Amino acid sequence: MRFYIQQHQYYCGIDLHARTMYNCILDQAGNTLLHKNINTKPELFLKIIEPFRDNLVVAAECIFTWYWLADLCAKECIDFVLGHALYMKAIHGAKTKNDRIDSYKIAKLLRAGMIPMAYVYPAKMRSVRDLLRRRMHFMRKRAELRAHIKNTNSQYNLPPLGHTIPHRSNPDDVQAQFTDPCVHKSVQVDLDLIGYYDKMLKDLELYIHRIAKSHDAKDHYLLRTIPGIGPILSLVLLYEIENINRFPRVQNFSSYSRLIKPIKESAGKRTGKSNKKIGNAHLKWAFSEAAILMMRERDEAKKFVQRKQSKHGKAKAIAILSHKIGRTVYYMLKHQRPFDPDKFFNKK
């Protein structure tokens, strides 16, 4: 957890919503200079903070509407702090809670140097990252359609369709298995949607690949040198990480990627695990996928997991491999070096 500790003359805390924003401005002594609710219009916001623009810092909680505010502050050369929503528990600790109180508490945390910071992702690559996340959403929807066809097939105890639908199977053959007209129609709709998703995802991936070359071609190339990391996983890693230098240590990167489990300790005793959901779920998924795919491509990876499996079990053994891949990615990007299989698998 990192806190914003820089001192300013004025501190602006904002409880931000989709259409409104409650603003609270404090001075160095903690006096409330402004406490006002306005619409989320840039010109209105700039107007109310105009008397305090000299040495002002603005803070808002990390919710889905922060993009425009961060971009506006960057354009106007105003310091902006994004508060980590899961760490800002002080906002929810009061008996009474409303927008006015929340904005005041954000300003107080900011003034006290106690506001936990989230990463303000730069606008240059942010939209592509969100497009990749949208692609993942469509991929999962397509997987749901395939699962529905297989489940329907099992409901009627029909011959297995195979592992892929309809990559290697003829869609007409799949529909022909279902004789009931309504079931046949249901499967036909699923197959039509799968076909549409296939075309859309292909176009989307081609578009993202063209953009990625202009953003960070070198890091993209380095990520592709890792066995198991193909064109899609490399893009996910590239855009979710953005800049490896924002992580001072490999431990910070592993924690952000959800590759390690946080431990709770009290009086020298471990009392369990906590805050497992804090971090980047997309990086967690990417490294888990990379571990599975590396096991398919490299026998050394499979043997590594088998050795760990005898002691820890299969799930934890794969998690250990994904953690190892995560650490490798950190050092590769940090030192700008390609994947070294001898070093990774400890070959002499």
Write down which residue in 111, 146, 162 finishes a domain.
111
Evaluate whether residue 119 is within a structural domain: no
Is residue 48 scored above 70 in pLDDT? yes
Evaluate whether residue 234 is within a structural domain: no
Average pLDDT over all residues of the chain: 91
Beta strands in the chain (DSSP E): 10-16, 20-27, 32-39, 56-61, 79-83, 263-266, 269-273
Write down which residue in 224, 259, 286 finishes a domain.
224
User: 251-283, pLDDT tens digit by residue?
Assistant: 999 999 999 887 777 777 777 666 777 899 999
In the block, tokens 């929340």 appear at 102
Evaluate whether residue 138 is within a structural domain: yes
User: 124-168, pLDDT tens digit by residue?
Assistant: 999 999 999 999 999 999 999 999 999 999 999 988 887 666 555
Assess whether 331 and 307 both reside in one domain: yes
Q: Smallest Cα–Cα separation from 90: which of 71, 119, 70, 112?
A: 112
Tell me the residue range of the domain where 148 lies: 124-224
Residues in the chain: 348
Q: Which position has the higher pLDDT, 92 or 131? A: 131
Evaluate whether residue 233 is within a structural domain: no
Assess whether 259 and 320 both reside in one domain: yes
Q: What is the distance between the alpha carbons of residues 288 and 282, in angstroms, rounded to a whole number?
A: 10
Name the token pair of 324: 């190892």
Q: How far apart are the first and last CA of the chain?
A: 39
Q: Smallest Cα–Cα separation from 150: which of 140, 163, 137?
A: 163
Q: What is the distance between the alpha carbons of residues 15 and 63, in angstroms, rounded to a whole number?
A: 10
Assess whether 209 and 256 both reside in one domain: no
Beta strands at 10-16 and 56-61: parallel, antiparallel or unpaired: parallel
CATH number, domain of 51, equals 3.30.420.40
Q: How confident is the model at residue 348 (pLDDT cuts 50, 70, 90)?
A: low
Assess whether 215 and 271 both reside in one domain: no
Assess whether 244 and 310 both reside in one domain: yes
In the block, tokens 């805050």 appear at 275
Evaluate whether residue 57 is within a structural domain: yes
Q: What is the distance between the alpha carbons of residues 231 and 222, in angstroms, rounded to a whole number?
A: 12
Write down which residue in 111, 138, 153 finishes a domain.
111
Assess whether 101 and 135 both reside in one domain: no
Structural domain count, the chain: 3
Evaluate whether residue 116 is within a structural domain: no
User: Rounded mean pLDDT of 202-224?
Assistant: 91
Evaluate whether residue 24 is within a structural domain: yes
User: 13-32, pLDDT tens digit by residue?
Assistant: 999 999 999 999 999 999 99
Assess whether 244 and 334 both reside in one domain: yes
The one-letter amino acid code at 67 reads: Y
Give the rounded percent of residues in the chain with a pLDDT score beyond 70: 95
Assess whether 129 and 208 both reside in one domain: yes
**Contact of 271 with 264, CB cutoff 8 Å:** yes
